[in-house]
Structure 1
Amino acid sequence: MNENRIEHYPVVIVGGGQAGLSTSHHLRAQGIDHLVLEKHRAMHAWSTQRWDTFCLVTPNWQCDLPGHPYQGDDPDGFMKKDEILAYLAGFRARVDPPIREGVTVRRVSPRAGGGFHVSTTSGEVSADNVVVASGGYHEPIVPRMAERLPGAVAQIHSAEYRNAGQLPAGAVLVVGSGQSGAQIAEDLHLAGRKVFLAVGNAPRCARFYRGRDVVAWLADMGYYDMPVEEHPLREGVRDNTNHYVTGRDGGRDIDLRKFAAEGMELYGALRDYDGGRLVFDTNLRAALDDADRTYNGINAAIDTHIATHNVVAPPPSVYEPVWQPADERETLDLASSGIAAIVWCIGFRPDFRWLDAPVFNGAGHPQHRRGVTAREGIYFIGLPWLHTWGSGRFGSVGRDAEHIVAHIAARTLKESAA
């Protein structure tokens, strides 16, 4: 292969979501030539991996992509799916990135003489720098036990769920109670479906407390500007499950206990399928108590902030459980339960096998400091807690992109002067 004939770019960005396009915005502002490669279409996940009633769980005023802040008439509301897509389409139009869609990056590897060789389904390119903006949610997780379930039971991952009507008539088992699991369980519950929910260890938080959205209180308290190095868990916070809450219908708490009181059946974490029976951990009571403890702990921190700063606000309160499990049911007969479908809401695993660079830890996760790795020229952006809570969200991904581009610009200047 004659590498002299390969297209060369100072920067190749892998991924055309909000992280990749935020990076493109700042590269263009610096006058740095670059190319964005996207496997599907820009913002693909937002249009194809969200259910019909999906909405943001963060208020609209936190939508602040580079040069494209929220400008609607409901800053304290929560954009619905079609509004999110319109907002992102506007961002793409504003950035006007040099993007090639429908192009899969097969491999990125070191190039003789420096830089990187980028092999794609549409040809070969080379780059001095590669920014990995493909996120960390690549492969839907479905446990191997799913292979042993009866073929008559429909099974989908949360990324495939759209609405209750796509599932066969009958009860639905939702596995997992993170943001997706809790919201999908609510969606099915509100649609009148019988729901069984296998509850995990996800925490929860209030939507509103003492007269304001909890997000607004936490912003005032500086939580969203806290770098990962200052968080009590340090890098361990990147493995945390997000708190479940919703922006649906103007925003409200998600209270699994309330759902249970209304007829949803709650179990502990799903452990196995054996002899026609679903087998669960006996951790339901502990999981609910832990979620409520986090809920009340966040509110208590807000109470302290209010008292410390003499903020005028409605009086404090403490959540008291509206339902308690009578017992810890360890098994459920699949046939007699009437379960006709299962929605797996247990997340995704990353897949960076295409990146040939020594930038990963023993668990296969990228090692970096605010997206900058120890390997010159390799960067990550858009990962949860890359730098702050908002690194994987519309609110702060632009600041991370600006930081990475500044690093690229400084490196380019240094090498050109050498």
Structure 2
Amino acid sequence: MTAEHIDTLIIGAGQAGIAMSEHLTAKGISHRVFEKNRIAEAWRSGRWDSLVANGPAWHDRFPHREFTHYQADEFVAKDDVANYFSDYVAQFDLPVQCGVDVQRVSKRCQQPGFYVETSVGDFIANHVVVATGPFHHPLIPAIAPTSETVTQIHSAQYFNPQQLAPGAVLVVGAGSSGVQIADEIQRAGRKVYLSVGPHDRPPRRYRGRDFCWWLGVLGLWDATEHAPGKSHVTIAVSGARGGETIDFRRLAQQGIILTGMTDHFSEGTVYFKQDLVENIRAGDESYLALLDAADAWVERNGASLPEEPEARAFIPASDCITHPLAQLDLKAAEVSTIIWATGYTTDYRWLDVDIFDEAGKPRQQRGVSIERGLYFLGLPWQSRRGSSFIWGAWHDASYIADQIAIQQSYLAYPAVSS
């Protein structure tokens, strides 16, 4: 069978792939989008039932379409986010093909472009944009116990408290997912232990503005690299129940038992690092630093935003914080479920091109890989702090579309006759 030739192939129809398709369509660049599942599938089936976007409706969107049925400062339910992207494809008549699994991409030998093997046949593409994002496979660390007496799931497999067996729950990981899941389960009447590692916790709102707005006016969305020592620090923020600042003291007062980072398991017992107080202190520092920066911006710009001194008042620490657990006998504590909110790994084994570094990450700059014609979109910190967000992927896609157009212009240059 002869391989079909296409100019540009986009792999993945999530937010990155759709943004890429919009920009290529606007430039008149012929392309196709292959998606093995449904449009925005991760929002549909890879999130828990009650999840809402962590940013408000005015912020977490593409420029050319607003969310319907939501006020600007509301947080959009996950299924409505997925439907937003489906509607976006229809609005711009984007060439998305669902049910197409890209199985292998390789560089053509001594010829331009790439050979692409898929579930519906083979293709040759001049340009390939990998828009599969960074969340390929749920990561459960090697310290996870092998005992079958406790059910273990990743946060990607958690949907609601009703799916869990009776008993207490240990949630490992206190980023946005872990905190929201632990909170939901505890509010459902379950005993919950939450293992807390290093984190930043921005204010949900301050002086009448959402933290997304503050990061914008302070220029922090455009930061091009992590602050020193922050490359592996997670962010704890939530849009649940109308949006709220994550306060670990409040969660403890509510009844969630906080612990330090999970260190290891042995003979039915989990052992925790004694770093809970330090992790909460460092999180408080990040919180207060943003308040300080916001206050300085208000003064410098003479903005009429109401003062909010109560934002700096912390409630007393509960006993689980001042005297944190060093270990927990899972059976004695009646823990029936461990939920690992520990992130994801990438898997590029299908991408047979020599562009990866020792850590398995693609060598690229602003999404342009070291292999001409191969691009990435939707990676964290691809060009700036906001790259992995909905609007950030849209702006990064604009840059990559420009690069593809530039390459097209060079390749279209007429051959010099002899």
Instruction: Give the TM-score of the pair, scaled to structure 1.
Output: 0.93
The AA in structure 2 aligned to 1:95 is F
Report the equivalent of 2:261: 269
* SS in structure 2 at match of 1:148: coil
Partner of residue 417, structure 1: 413
SS in 2 for 1:124: strand
**Counterpart pick for 1:181 among 169, 178, 182:** 178
Instruction: Please list, as runs of the form range in 1=range in 2, the aligned pairs for 1:62-73 lying within 5 A after superposition.
Output: 62-65=59-62, 67-70=64-67, 72-73=69-70
Equivalent position of 1:110 in the other structure? 107
CA–CA separation in structure 1 for the residues paired with 2:316 and 2:118: 55
**Aligned partner (choices 63, 75, 85) of residue 78 of structure 1:** 75
Partner of 2:139: 141
Structure 1 residue 37 corresponds to structure 2 residue 34: yes
Deviation at 1:20, TM superposition (A): 0.5
Report how many aligned residue pairs link the two structures. Answer: 409
From 381, 390, 401, the counterpart of 2:397: 401
Whether the 8 Å CA contact 2:128–2:374 is kept in 1: the answer is yes
Name the aligned partner's letter for residue 132 of structure 2: S
Q: Secondary structure at the match of 2:405?
A: helix
Could you tell me how far apart the structure 1 residues matched to 2:46 and 2:180 are?
Answer: 14
In 1, Cα distance between equivalents of 2:61 and 2:146: 46
Corresponding residue for 2:84? 87
Correspondence for 1:332? 328
1:217-236 aligned at under 5 Å gives the runs 217-224=214-221, 226-228=222-224, 232-233=227-228
Pick from 279, 302, 321: which aligns with 1:287? 279
Q: Specify the SS of the correspondent of 1:82.
A: helix
**1:296 paired to 2:288:** yes
For structure 1, the 5+ residue unaligned runs are none
- Conserved in 2, the CA contact under 8 Å of 1:103 and 1:120? yes
**Do structure 1's residue 346 and structure 2's residue 342 form an aligned pair?**
yes
What corresponds to 2:317 in structure 1? Answer: 323
* Equivalent residue letter for 1:51: W
Find the counterpart in structure 2 of residue 246 from structure 1.
Answer: 238
CA distance in 1, matches of 2:183, 2:324: 22
Aligned with residue 131 of structure 1, among 117, 123, 129:
129
* Structure 1 residue 252 displacement after superposition: 0.9
| CA distance in structure 2 between the partners assigned to 1:399 and 1:72 by the alignment | 25
1:143-163 deviations in whole A, cap 9, x for unaligned? 2343522x2322111011111
Unaligned runs of 5+ in 2: none
8 Å CA contact retained: 1:63, 1:69: no
1:383 counterpart = 2:379: yes
Mapped partners of 1:153, 1:71: distance in 2: 43
Instruction: Say whether the 8 Å CA contact 1:65–1:397 is kept in structure 2.
Output: no
Q: Percent identity?
A: 37
1:316-335 Cα offsets, whole Å, 9 max, x none, are 43242531523232210011
Report if the CA contact (8 A) 2:277-2:322 is conserved: no
Q: Aligned pair in 2 of structure 1 residues 43, 220: CA closer, same or farther (>3 Å)?
A: same
1:377, distance to aligned residue in structure 2 (A): 0.3
Cα–Cα, structure 1 residues 120 and 343, in superposed 2: closer, same or farther, change >3 Å?
Answer: same
Deviations 1:55-100 (A, max 9, x none): 1111111133253234545011111223223322211222333233
Q: Work out whether 1:23 is the aligned partner of 2:24.
A: no
